[in-house]
Amino acid sequence: MEKSKLALALLIMRLSAAAFMIAWTSLKFRVPQSFENIFHKFYGLHFVTQDLAWIVGGIQMLIVLAFAIGILRTYTYGAVLLMHGVGTLSSIPNLIDYTTYPNQLMWAAVPTLGSMVALFLLRADDQFSVDGMRMKSAPAVEATPGE
């Protein structure tokens, strides 16, 4: 694939995945009781309260925004992949029972997870990111023997 087409495809994947994650993360601020209910139902963590929603949501939002602009790609792409991967894997019973409403809606998480895996694997080719732009503008460094 032509490098510019690949870079454009990765930009589209990153921005659409970021939009998905921003909507998901914003629920921690708008509906904090949902955060508590999810941790109780899916993870069995009954010590999690609504009060933690703002803290966790704030941290997640910073990570997702860093992911959206493509800074610290290995860490932010990996963190977003991990956050979404854990959430998707914890919903496997609902994915299996897809005929029960609204479980079929949870299948939207699966292609998003796939795009996040692809983004992580191709992160060095994501040229329309802060890190990608920085790499393009950095002077080429010659490798010395033994590196």
Per-residue pLDDT of the chain (147 residues; tens, 9 = 90+): 688 999 999 999 999 999 999 999 999 999 999 989 988 888 888 888 898 999 999 999 999 999 999 999 999 999 999 999 999 998 899 899 989 888 898 899 999 999 999 999 999 999 999 999 998 887 755 544 543
- The reported pLDDT for the residue numbered 138 is 73
- The reported pLDDT for the residue numbered 143 is 47
What are the domain boundaries of the chain? 3-126
Long-range contact list for 57-64, CB < 8 A, 24+ apart? 57/25, 57/26, 57/28, 57/29, 60/21, 60/25, 60/28, 61/22, 61/25, 61/26, 64/18, 64/21, 64/22, 64/25
